[in-house]
Amino acid sequence: MTKCVALSLALLSLVACHGGAKSNLIPVKFQTDWYPQPEHGGFYEAQLKGYYQQEGLDVTIAPGGPYIVAEQQVSLGGAQFGMSSSDRILDAVAQGQPLVAVAATMQHDPQGIMMHANSPVHKFGDLEGHTIAIKTGATWFQYLVARYHLKNVHETPATYSIANFLQDRNYIQQIFVTSEPFFARKAGADIRTLLISETGYDPYRVFFTSQSYVKDHPDVVAKFVRASLRGWRDYMADPKQVNDELLRLNPAMTPDQMQFTWQALKDGHFIYPDDDPSKDGDMQPDRWAALDHQLTDLKVLRRSIDPATAYTLQFISAGH
């Protein structure tokens, strides 16, 4: 056998070997809730560092957007896992979608409102008589109206931009405190923000799967949770590698913007309860029960459910 033929056979064998290894991985699709961004950093970290592959998973991260509903994707089998919030999961389960949250991405939702520094709105009760730009049907807004007995507060559709905010000194809009304040301040606006979680309405940001997938593939769920939480610990320790990748995937972002978001996640203690990385992913039954009670009082839930059916704690310890 000539050296040329031997080398060719060796290369073919190597390709076959790698192809076989790839084919042995379990394909998993993960549907995010928005375009690639630092709020997804731990998942991309797990993918880039091969943590999913080490668990035997071939994970595809599918970007979300304003017209993609992760709950529907998972319910219909278009994805095995998705990102959402605990209030949306409770609502989906009440509507008959057999979903179950498997871990928390964030301990508190960075959802809030933003107003100009000279606005007369200093607390949520001050929204009386004002207009706020929000996503139509937002449950947290229904809670604010009920909690603060607001009789004369008006809604206008959110535009997912700060253009109107910059042009109107009276403009108030929904935001993530990890995102829009960066752009507003960069444009020269002097702003203030209020966090919805400070009102007592405090959902988790979670990742979830279907109840049937948990039943049929508990090993895959455990592996996905373990690798994902490992990725989040790494990302919060050093975001550089993933932020470079996010910039490639979503060129609309900038390095300064991503650094702001990462720092806001860290300073706001959104990822870890009690600033303890060993507790990442943690969820508490009393918070799920309290949220279920709030949604029931608001008549958001179409039927009464046991909130414990909307989440499971069995996989969180596997991630530590």
Q: Residue 1 has what pLDDT?
A: 45
Q: How confident is the model at residue 3 (pLDDT cuts 50, 70, 90)?
A: very low
What percentage of the chain carries pLDDT values higher than 70? 92
258 band by pLDDT with thresholds 50, 70 and 90:
very high
pLDDT band at 22; cut points 50, 70, 90:
low
Each residue of 202-255: pLDDT tens digit?
999 999 999 999 999 999 999 999 999 999 999 999 999 999 999 999 999 999
Q: What is the distance between the alpha carbons of residues 36 and 43, in angstroms, rounded to a whole number?
A: 10
Task: Output the average pLDDT for the chain.
Answer: 92
Rounded CA-CA distance 247/254 in Å is 7
At 320 the pLDDT is 56
Chain-centroid distance, C-alpha 49: 20
pLDDT for 318: 59
What would the mean pLDDT of 166-194 be, rounded to a whole number? 97
Q: Which of 117-126, 266-275, 279-288 has the lowest mean pLDDT?
A: 266-275
Residue 73 has pLDDT above 90, yes or no: yes
The pLDDT score that the predictor gives to residue 11 is 35
Quote the tokens at residue 109. 């939702």
String of DSSP letters for the chain: --HHHHHHHHHHHHHHHHHHHHHTSEEEEEE-SSSS-GGGHHHHHHHHTTHHHHTTEEEEEE---TT--HHHHHHTTS-SEEEEEHHHHHHHHHTT--EEEEEEEESS--EEEEEETT-S--SGGGGTT-EEEE-TT-HHHHHHHHHTT-SS-EEEE--SSSHHHHH-TT--EEEETTTHHHHHHHTT--EEEEEGGGGT--PPEEEEEEHHHHHH-HHHHHHHHHHHHHHHHHHHH--HHHHHHHHHH-TTS-HHHHHHHHHHHHHTT-SSGGG-GGGTT---HHHHHHHHHHHHHTT-SSS---GGGGB--TTTGGG-
Q: Which residues pair with 154 in a beta bridge?
A: 131
pLDDT tens track for 31-66 = 999 999 999 999 999 999 999 999 999 999 999 998
pLDDT of amino acid 279: 87
Give yes or no for residue 17 having a pLDDT over 70: no
CA distances 214 to 64, 227, 274, Å, are 23, 16, 29
